Amino acid sequence: MNGLIETLRQAVGANHVLVDGDLSAWEQDWRKRARGKALAVVRPGTTEEVAQVVRACAAAATPIVPQGGNTGMVVGSTPDDSGRAVVLNLTRMNRVRAVDAANLTITVDAGCVLQTVQEAAEAAGYLFPLSLAAEGSCTIGGNLATNAGGTQVVRYGNARELCLGLEVVTAQGEVWDGLSGLRKDNTGYDLRDLFIGSEGTLGVITAATMKLYPLPRATLTAWAAVPSMDAALALLGLAHRHLGAGLTGFEVMGQFALGLVVKHMPQLRVPFQQESAWCVLLENADQESEEHARAQFERLLEAALEDGCATDAVVAENIAQARALWHVRENIPLAQAEEGLNIKHDISIPVSRIPDFCAETDALLKREIAGVRLVNFGHLGDGNLHYNVQAPEEDDMQAFLREHEERVNALVFDQVRKFGGSISAEHGIGTLKVGKLPHYKSPVALKMMRAVKDALDPQGIMNPGKVLLP
Ligand code: FAD
Ligand code: 2HG
Ligand code: ZN
């Protein structure tokens, strides 16, 4: 192995091959669910360096764990505890390569932090709409590898829909330049779409060409109290009708989830938390004017109050107030982490079936485990719920996980199947759900996935143990 380390040092420079000291920032996942052990953490600065690293690892049959900001939720970007894998961290590759205004595209290195991409787009007068609470540290490579969703999917789609082309280093260390800015290209299989959502198991994404959009003239945010999930769904229907393509965000937040923000971030003001079972955050991005956006929002909210699907509502007066409302929503994952570990279910269900899913699954869980607390929130506009399960107040969370995690997962995922949903809407499979996939995905689909994996990575060195079991 010393020979491999020496080759890696020659490839990327000795300073960028970490073998000693505290490597926990790269070896442990964001939620601290697992701590692995790496042979080395390697931080290349260019695509050619990535290719050299992959070739060296392939020659030594050494596993590679691609890593961006290490903010993933499913233990996908950290090594196992064997000490055999090289963590390939892309964050030094952080250049914005080009903005093509006429083509409405931006091309960036994979290690670019999402917020940097948003800012570069805005500096050029455009919008890059992918947005999630980890945007200050997650990377575009990680976003694509997980096909991240976030809060703007209802209008702009997830990372896949925003991507036009990729540059990839294959598992053999070859460079595929697929950085096309084309919106139409029917020359055979869509290789780009294979790598998007592959969670580092097929190759290393080193750059991407992403879509840009015109900046809206006005973006307004509203916060509504809604009495039930049925009411939230009725409000969503009204929002689609009143705002059309202007509806860019529709987030739902349960009372308990918001209560955690109140408890752990007492400096934040959370409207209607005390009096309402659910709150909804809506965003309206308008190409006409602020007056137009405000009038649209007012008509929508009047209709909602009249209909009874909202019992109270506020529209942010200015950008600071809008930011403050979004800040509450974005802090839910952090407030949960403060409260302790929980069992996360990042699920999607056809929007129309979400109220029945919640009513039935809540009742089943509460019957099964006395005192269980449900942290429910998510991107209702695209049918994606974060249906998280927290231990009863006085319980030790580690003991709760040991005793109940398997049963809780089975119960929730069986319900997801029953309601025609998916066990991962946006976070992916990683290692946390790798054992579940065979139970909840079609055997035919799994066989095709296995064939793709074997064809592109015959040695099985790309992120082994993630997504598909060997
Ligand atoms: P990492 O965590 O480093 O890696 C994630 C996966 O991608 C791993 O399997 C890794 O091997 C692979 N990977 C990383 N880079 C590459 C590459 N260049 N080539 C090939 N494979 C690679 N997700 C959502 O979808 N929506 C949300 O709203 C959302 N909110 C979040 C909020 C918080 C507070 C946090 C902590 C996370 C959130 N996430 C959300 C999770 C989400 O998956 C990540 O934040 C993000 O997409 C991962 O990017 P990353 O650079 O941190 O990737
Ligand atoms: C979000 O929407 C993220 O905030 C995290 O996807 C969800 O913490 C979670 O369960
Ligand atoms: Zn989410």
Q: Is the dihedral of CA 257, 247, 117, 119 positive or negative?
A: negative
Q: Of the candidates 333, 358, 373, which is a domain's last residue?
A: 333
C-alpha–C-alpha distance, residues 5 and 17, integer Å: 8
In a domain, 82, yes or no: yes
354-368 and 397-418 are packed helices; what angle lies between their axes, rounded to 10 degrees? Answer: 140
Q: Do residues 135 and 232 share a domain?
A: no
DSSP secondary structure letters along 39-66: SEEE--SSHHHHHHHHHHHHHTT--EEE
CATH code at 121?
A: 3.30.465.10
Written as one letter, the residue type at 1 is M
DSSP bridge partners of 99: 106
Q: Do residues 209 and 270 share a domain?
A: no
**Pocket lining for ligand 2, CB < 6 angstroms:** 133, 332-333, 336, 344, 386, 388
Residue 33 · residue 44 · CB < 8 Å: no
Q: Do residues 19 and 115 share a domain?
A: no
In a domain, 453, yes or no: no
In a domain, 346, yes or no: no
Predicted local distance difference test score (pLDDT) of residue 341? 85
Q: Do residues 176 and 112 share a domain?
A: yes
In a domain, 345, yes or no: no
Predicted local distance difference test score (pLDDT) of residue 470? 83
Q: Do residues 237 and 208 share a domain?
A: no
Written as one letter, the residue type at 100 is D
* 143 CA distance to ligand 3 middle (Å): 12
Q: Residue 173 belongs to what domain range?
A: 96-214
* pLDDT, one tens digit for every residue, the chain (470 residues): 679 999 999 999 999 999 999 999 999 999 999 999 999 999 999 999 999 999 999 999 999 999 999 999 999 999 999 999 999 999 999 999 999 999 999 999 999 999 999 999 999 999 999 999 999 999 999 999 999 999 999 999 999 999 999 999 999 999 999 999 999 999 999 999 999 999 999 999 999 999 999 999 999 999 999 999 999 999 999 999 999 999 999 999 999 999 999 999 999 999 999 999 999 999 999 999 999 999 999 999 999 999 999 999 999 999 999 999 999 999 999 999 999 889 999 999 999 999 999 999 999 999 999 889 999 999 999 999 999 999 888 888 889 889 999 999 999 999 999 999 999 999 999 999 999 999 999 999 999 999 999 999 999 999 999 999 98
Q: By alpha-carbon position, which residue is closest to atom 9 of ligand 2?
A: 333
Q: In what order do the strands lie in the sheet with 40-42?
A: 17-18, 40-42, 86-89, 64-67
C-alpha–C-alpha distance, residues 212 and 108, integer Å: 12
Q: Of the candidates 55, 89, 123, which is a domain's last residue?
A: 89
In a domain, 343, yes or no: no
Predicted local distance difference test score (pLDDT) of residue 1? 65
Task: Tell me 380's DSSP state.
Answer: G
Q: Which residues contact 449 (CB under 8 A, 6 or more apart)?
A: 467, 468
CATH code at 224?
A: 3.30.70.2190
Q: Do residues 210 and 222 share a domain?
A: no
Residue 134 · residue 146 · CB < 8 Å: no
Q: Do residues 74 and 44 share a domain?
A: yes
Please return the burial class of 44, using the count of CB atoms within 10 Å of its CB with bins 0-12, 13-18 and 19+: buried
Structure-block tokens of residue 74: 């499913």
Collapsed DSSP state (helix, strand, coil) of residue 278: strand
CATH code at 54?
A: 3.30.43.10
3-state secondary structure 163-175: EEEEEEEECCCCE
Q: Do residues 240 and 321 share a domain?
A: yes
Structural domains counted in the chain: 3
* 333 CA distance to ligand 1 middle (Å): 14
Structure-block tokens of residue 394: 């006085």
Q: Do residues 100 and 206 share a domain?
A: yes
Atom of ligand 1 nearest to the CA of 73: 41
Predicted local distance difference test score (pLDDT) of residue 293? 96
Atom of ligand 2 nearest to the CA of 344: 10
Q: Do residues 151 and 245 share a domain?
A: no
Atom of ligand 2 nearest to the CA of 330: 4
Name the residue among 127, 165, 122 with its Cα closest to residue 144.
165
Name the residue among 463, 453, 419, 424 with its Cα closest to residue 441.
424
Q: Of the candidates 300, 333, 366, which is a domain's last residue?
A: 333
In a domain, 7, yes or no: yes
**Pocket lining for ligand 1, CB < 6 angstroms:** 30, 65-73, 76-77, 90, 110, 132-134, 138-139, 141-143, 145-146, 148-150, 199-200, 204-205, 333, 426-427, 430, 463, 466
Nearest ligand to the C-alpha atom of residue 387: 2
Please return the burial class of 445, using the count of CB atoms within 10 Å of its CB with bins 0-12, 13-18 and 19+: exposed
Predicted local distance difference test score (pLDDT) of residue 367? 95
C-alpha–C-alpha distance, residues 209 and 282, integer Å: 29
3-state secondary structure 63-85: CEEEECCCCCCCCCCCCCCCCCC
Q: Do residues 139 and 155 share a domain?
A: yes
DSSP bridge partners of 438: none
C-alpha–C-alpha distance, residues 463 and 447, integer Å: 19
How many beta carbons lie within 10 A of that of residue 260, not counting itself? 24
DSSP secondary structure letters along 235-248: HHHHHHHHHGGGEE
In a domain, 395, yes or no: no
Q: Do residues 198 and 227 share a domain?
A: no
Structure-block tokens of residue 211: 């879509």
In a domain, 85, yes or no: yes
C-alpha–C-alpha distance, residues 354 and 356, integer Å: 6
